[in-house]
A and B are shown apart, each in its own frame.
Chain A
Amino acid sequence: MIEMLEKLTGGFGPAGEESIVKEIVKSELEEHSDEMWEDKLGNLVIQRKGGDSELKIMLAAHIDEIGLMITHIEEEGFLRFTPVGGVKKKNVPHKSFVFSDGIKGTVGVEDLDNDDKLKFEKMYMDIGAEDKEEAEKLVSVGDTAVYARNFVNAGGRIIANSLDDRAGCAALVKLMQGLKESPHDLYCVFTVQEEVGCRGAKTAAYDINPDIALAVDVTATGDTPESRPREMTLGEGAAIKVMDRGSISHPQIKNLLEKLAKDAGIEYQFEVLEFGATDAHSMQLTRGGVPSGTLSIPCRYIHTPHEMIDGNDLTSTVELLEEFVSCEEISEI
């Protein structure tokens, strides 16, 4: 699974331009799906037909990531940009970025009196071009760059860009590859445009009209020095979301996940997050309402180029997902 995760995090995929990552997922799952299609917003849907049960389960992991969109090219060849998704300005200066065709740049900052004046307008990207003409040969206004790709396997813990939410994607891919049979109809959706407001999941959920929905995403931890108090700890198992700012998980989904984890001896923890939202937010509020929840992979340094997860948490997440999609009790929700 680690190799597949490396492949997934290596793919360029800012919100709205997810096709490269979609191709990676497609190649992994071609042999493991009954049907596979892309919908009107670009979500990649993998369908697995179930047995006797009439229940439709939708699982969602987003394939997009945050990035920077170029808004202007200066005479001297420097690029100005604006954030796409929840990019924190303090995370950007002096980081490496990469465009879809592999062009790389580093972000510089104008001389500021003090760091409080740091704004995106004061930053620029330097792709090494000597002037505007040279820069325009490489990059156009409207192009988007993402954190430069990097992947480190640090003894079971993974440090990489875009684990939000390629880790969730990897969990879904692994689930589908290993899943033998399920009584229920399964729709595995690799959603687009989550980072700009959970947009893909909204239209996908309308289209699929599921009975139960579960998002698989990363969550912040509270286990680093002087962190804000938070229960979630790296290495202590899959995190069953109770709530975040976008959704309160359906209590029966939360309870079922806990029961399944206990019965199967899968490591788990509960998650309460004071900010953030996952695709569960959109899915839950679609049509007449869809019972929804989120299963999270604890992750440090979210939305930086070096996010960190624990491989064991990822494994626990896949195991718990397997239990979830194949159990009988889910029909009672």
Chain B
Amino acid sequence: MLLKKLSEASGVASRENEVREIIRDDISDHVEDIYTDVMGNLIACRSTEKSGPVTMLTAHMDEVGLMITNIRKDGLLDFMKVGGIDKRILVSKVVNVGSDGIKGVIGSKAIHLQKKSERKKPIDIDNLYIDIGATSRSEAKKVVNAGDTAVFESGFEKLDNDMVLGKAFDDRTGCALLTEAAKIEPRVPTYYVFTVQEEVGLRGARQAAYSIDPDISIVVEGTTAADVPDNEEHRYSTSVGEGPALTIRDRSLISSRPLLQLLIETAERGNIPYQFRRTTAGGNDAGVIHLTREGIPSAVISVPCRYIHSPVAMMDLNDYNSSADLLKKFISETIEEGKLNK
């Protein structure tokens, strides 16, 4: 399953190579052209000779992770976060460092050595380190270096029902959905854009949108689902199992109404379940894409994921499949020449 391969691949912002190669291998035979741009975005296209609105589909390849900032005398590694990670979830997690995936564990002072005040709050990054089992700086330096990135070691797994567990569903889910979409014939000129550096500030998508200059854009994301105990229903944002979530507004985007309406119609015609994203928090590549050049009408399809940005997120394969149906139906059937044109 491609989603498994993508989820298990390592790809912190700026180190998306592994993910890029998986995608390239998977879709090269299905697309007209495929190339990597200056920023590292992987761009493929199909049906460029057709008429109709040039459509850009986007998913980001990078995931949240860590970067080594210093190697201590005793061989332990200091690190910083790359992208938004809750520091409470770091301690005692197994990580893979660098392109060779050197295994290590995030360590901290044992509980009996902690002051009473320290036990009451999450451990600060400064008091955590990655331990790769090296006993000295010189030994550690043989396999890692400052600037190496680290990701959580986390195997993809399907539970007995249709739930899957794994890391980096934000946004390998979108990457997997886009690769599926790339295998069917779109009705209009379509660009499949796998962006870099989303988690550090939507940096890759800006250049891609500028150079492609599409007429419309759809971002495909793994988004947060907060349908968990201790949260009131009105703060769920999205709910697992209720289908793809469509964005009306988030922190960085107000979706194009005509485009959103077309997505809704597509879902309803195909009996595909959907929900709205019920929060204005959060943002994604669409935030910069829609403000590129003279403006690009944009919308977002998100797959709800619990425990996002953590070592193990949970997603419902039914939501994944419904999202795939919606996206494919949209680019192969609904999108009509002229209707969303410049």
B183 lies within 8 A of chain A by Cβ: no
The complex places the Cα of A197 from the Cα of B252 at a distance, in Å, of: 8
Q: Which of B234, B278, B294 contacts A206 (CB 8 A)?
A: B294
In the complex, the answer to whether A16 meets B249 with C-beta atoms within 8 Å is yes
In the complex, the answer to whether A72 meets B278 with C-beta atoms within 8 Å is yes
B272 lies within 8 A of chain A by Cβ: no
Contact mask for chain B residues 141-172; partner A; CB cutoff 8 A; 1 contact, 0 none: 00000000000000000000000000000000
Q: Which of A40, A69, A196, A202 contacts B248 (CB 8 A)?
A: A69
A84 lies within 8 A of chain B by Cβ: yes
With a cutoff of 8 Å between Cβ atoms, the chain B residues found around residue A202 in the complex are 291
A39 lies within 8 A of chain B by Cβ: yes
Looking across the interface, which residue of chain B has its beta carbon closest to that of A75? B233
**Distance in Å from the Cβ of A110 to the closest Cβ of chain B?**
10
With a cutoff of 8 Å between Cβ atoms, the chain A residues found around residue B293 in the complex are 203, 206-207
Q: Which of B235, B254, B295, B296 contacts A15 (CB 8 A)?
A: B254
The complex places the Cα of A206 from the Cα of B294 at a distance, in Å, of: 5
Q: Contacts A40-B296, A40-B297 hold; do A80 and B234 have CB atoms under 8 A apart?
A: yes
In the complex, the answer to whether A16 meets B254 with C-beta atoms within 8 Å is yes
Give the interface size bracket for A toward B. 20 to 34
Contact mask for chain B residues 226-265; partner A; CB cutoff 8 A; 1 contact, 0 none: 0000001111100000000000110010100100000000
Looking across the interface, which residue of chain B has its beta carbon closest to that of A40? B295
B135 lies within 8 A of chain A by Cβ: no
Q: Mostly helix, strand, loop or mixed at chain B's interface?
A: loop
Q: Contacts A141-B276, A142-B276 hold; do A207 and B294 have CB atoms under 8 A apart?
A: yes
In the complex, the answer to whether B254 meets A203 with C-beta atoms within 8 Å is no
A83 lies within 8 A of chain B by Cβ: yes
In the complex, the answer to whether B234 meets A72 with C-beta atoms within 8 Å is yes
With a cutoff of 8 Å between Cβ atoms, the chain B residues found around residue A199 in the complex are 254, 290-291
Most buried by A among B293, B295, B297, B342: B295
Contact mask for chain A residues 201-234; partner B; CB cutoff 8 A; 1 contact, 0 none: 0111011000000000000000000000000000
B279 lies within 8 A of chain A by Cβ: yes
In the complex, the answer to whether A203 meets B291 with C-beta atoms within 8 Å is yes
Looking across the interface, which residue of chain B has its beta carbon closest to that of A208? B294
Looking across the interface, which residue of chain B has its beta carbon closest to that of A199? B291
The complex places the Cα of A83 from the Cα of B279 at a distance, in Å, of: 9
**Distance in Å from the Cβ of A48 to the closest Cβ of chain B?**
20
Looking across the interface, which residue of chain A has its beta carbon closest to that of B255? A16
**Distance in Å from the Cβ of B262 to the closest Cβ of chain A?**
15
The complex places the Cα of A72 from the Cα of B227 at a distance, in Å, of: 13
Looking across the interface, which residue of chain B has its beta carbon closest to that of A121? B235
The complex places the Cα of A182 from the Cα of B279 at a distance, in Å, of: 47
With a cutoff of 8 Å between Cβ atoms, the chain A residues found around residue B294 in the complex are 39-40, 203-204, 206-207
The complex places the Cα of A69 from the Cα of B280 at a distance, in Å, of: 8
A71 lies within 8 A of chain B by Cβ: yes
Interface residues on chain B, number (Cβ under 8 Å): 24
With a cutoff of 8 Å between Cβ atoms, the chain A residues found around residue B290 in the complex are 41, 199
Looking across the interface, which residue of chain B has its beta carbon closest to that of A41? B295
A269 lies within 8 A of chain B by Cβ: no
The complex places the Cα of A12 from the Cα of B233 at a distance, in Å, of: 29
The complex places the Cα of A207 from the Cα of B213 at a distance, in Å, of: 13
**Distance in Å from the Cβ of A281 to the closest Cβ of chain B?**
13
In the complex, the answer to whether A69 meets B291 with C-beta atoms within 8 Å is no
The complex places the Cα of A119 from the Cα of B121 at a distance, in Å, of: 24
In the complex, the answer to whether A71 meets B234 with C-beta atoms within 8 Å is yes
In the complex, the answer to whether A121 meets B295 with C-beta atoms within 8 Å is no
In the complex, the answer to whether A207 meets B279 with C-beta atoms within 8 Å is no
A33 lies within 8 A of chain B by Cβ: no
In the complex, the answer to whether A39 meets B295 with C-beta atoms within 8 Å is yes
The complex places the Cα of A72 from the Cα of B296 at a distance, in Å, of: 29
In the complex, the answer to whether A84 meets B233 with C-beta atoms within 8 Å is no
Looking across the interface, which residue of chain B has its beta carbon closest to that of A193? B254
The complex places the Cα of A83 from the Cα of B248 at a distance, in Å, of: 13
The complex places the Cα of A199 from the Cα of B252 at a distance, in Å, of: 9
With a cutoff of 8 Å between Cβ atoms, the chain A residues found around residue B280 in the complex are 69, 82-84
A74 lies within 8 A of chain B by Cβ: yes
Which residues 4-49 of B sit at the A interface, judged by CB distance below 8 A?
none
In the complex, the answer to whether A196 meets B254 with C-beta atoms within 8 Å is yes
The complex places the Cα of A196 from the Cα of B204 at a distance, in Å, of: 22
Can you name 9 A-B residue pairings with CB atoms under 8 Å? A40-B342, A82-B280, A83-B280, A196-B249, A199-B254, A199-B291, A203-B292, A206-B293, A207-B295
Given known contacts A80-B235, A82-B280, A206-B294, what 10 new A-B pairs fall within 8 Å (CB)?
Answer: A15-B254, A40-B294, A40-B296, A40-B297, A69-B249, A72-B235, A80-B234, A121-B232, A142-B276, A207-B294
| Chain A contact residues, CB within 8 Å of chain B | 15-17, 39-41, 69, 71-72, 74, 80, 82-84, 121, 141-142, 193, 196-197, 199, 202-204, 206-207
| Chain B contact residues, CB within 8 Å of chain A | 232-236, 248-249, 252, 254, 257, 276, 278-281, 290-297, 342
